[in-house]
């Protein structure tokens, strides 16, 4: 089975990539599977695409091998697009999912349901030695719940209600999430390239 390196340390993403790529006969190796510790890569870009490129190219260049990376996050209209590229560190550098979603809930206190629109965005960069890096994006439209619900998934899933649903993403099974998520939509755009990998 073909193996792809995904330059992430996020266990939630790794779980989803394993499930999503298994459809293409591709196994996933993440930075959590490396024997040696991998230093955190600074995400200095101002867009998801830039940060995905930075992560994919850093690992591709270090190991001289093809690598993909995912930069993703939550974009809330009533917060002018926050937390956006700062999603992981919204409530501080410690990257705490619970504190991050509490900060969003607090900022949205009193904001009526019809003004709580938001989307999850995912940029996936493909970096290969000797080739130009390319990036594909996917998104999942929805809104921010009035209170957190559900145990599945990771990150902001307990407060995000996809527009196709009445439940939060964390109340969806992984199969359900993987059929509607921003990550799924980004991967669909990579499909042609992925089919040539297996
Ligand atoms: O499906 C999702 N469901 C809920 N929350 C999500 C999702 N997808 C991204 N998110 C949130 C988590 C984190 O707060 C940020 C990603 O930040 P991002 O820098 O891309 O990832 P990360 O630092 O956790 O791991 P890494 O950079 O090693 O891939 O957006
Ligand atoms: Mg990150």
Cα 24 to averaged position of ligand 1 atoms, centre (Å): 23
Mutation pick for ligand 1 pocket among 45, 46, 73 (CB with most ligand atoms within 8 Å)? 73
User: What would the pLDDT profile of 82-125 be if each residue is shown by its tens digit?
Assistant: 999 999 999 999 999 999 999 999 999 999 999 999 999 999 99
Distance CA 79, CA 103 (A): 11
CB-based neighbours (< 5 A) of ligand 2, an ion: 88
What domains does the chain contain, in order, with CATH numbers? 2-195 (3.90.950.10)
Exactly one of 40, 70, 71, 77 is catalytic; name it.
71
The complex scores an ipTM of: 0.99
Task: Of 118, 141, 140, give the one whose Cα is nearest residue 184.
Answer: 140
Residue 198: pLDDT over 70: no
Is residue 177 part of an annotated ligand binding site? Answer: yes
Q: Is 142 annotated as a binding residue?
A: no
Relative to the alpha carbon of 156, which ligand is closest?
A: 1
Ligand 1 atom at minimum distance from 153 CA: 3
44 contacts: CB under 8 Å, gap ≥ 6: 51, 54
Q: Is the CB of 118 under 6 A from ligand 1?
A: no
> pLDDT tens digits for 43-87?
999 999 999 999 999 999 999 999 999 999 999 999 999 999 999
Q: Is 176 annotated as a binding residue?
A: no
Edge-to-edge strand list for the sheet holding 26-30 = 26-30, 2-6, 67-76, 117-127, 134-144, 160-162
The pTM of the full predicted model, rounded to 2 decimals, is 0.97
For ligand 1, atom 17: residue with the closest CA: 88
pLDDT above 70 covers a percentage of the chain that reads 99
Contact predicate 71/55, CB 8 Å: yes
Q: Is 40 among the residues known to form the active site?
A: no
Ligand nearest the Cα atom of residue 10: 1
């Amino acid at each position: 089975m073909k193996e792809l390196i995904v330059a992430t340390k996020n266990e939630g993403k790794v779980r989803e990539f394993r499930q999503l790529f298994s459809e293409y006969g591709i196994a996933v190796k993440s930075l959590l599977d490396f024997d040696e510790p991998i230093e955190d890569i600074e995400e200095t870009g101002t867009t998801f695409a830039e940060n995905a490129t930075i992560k994919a190219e850093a690992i591709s260049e270090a190991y001289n091998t093809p690598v993909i990376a995912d930069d993703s996050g939550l974009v809330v209209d009533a917060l002018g697009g926050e937390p956006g590229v700062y999603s992981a560190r919204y409530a501080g550098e410690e990257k705490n999912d619970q504190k991050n979603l509490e900060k969003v809930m607090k900022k949205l206190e009193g904001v009526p349901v019809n003004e709580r629109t938001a989307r999850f965005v995912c940029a996936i960069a493909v970096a290969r030695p000797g080739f130009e890096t390319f990036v594909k994006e996917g998104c999942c439209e929805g809104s921010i719940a009035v209170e957190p619900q559900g145990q599945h998934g990771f990150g902001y899933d307990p407060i995000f209600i996809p527009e196709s649903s009445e439940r939060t993403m964390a109340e969806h099974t992984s199969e359900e999430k993987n059929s509607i998520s921003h990550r799924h939509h980004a991967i669909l755009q990579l499909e042609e390239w992925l089919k040539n990998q297996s």
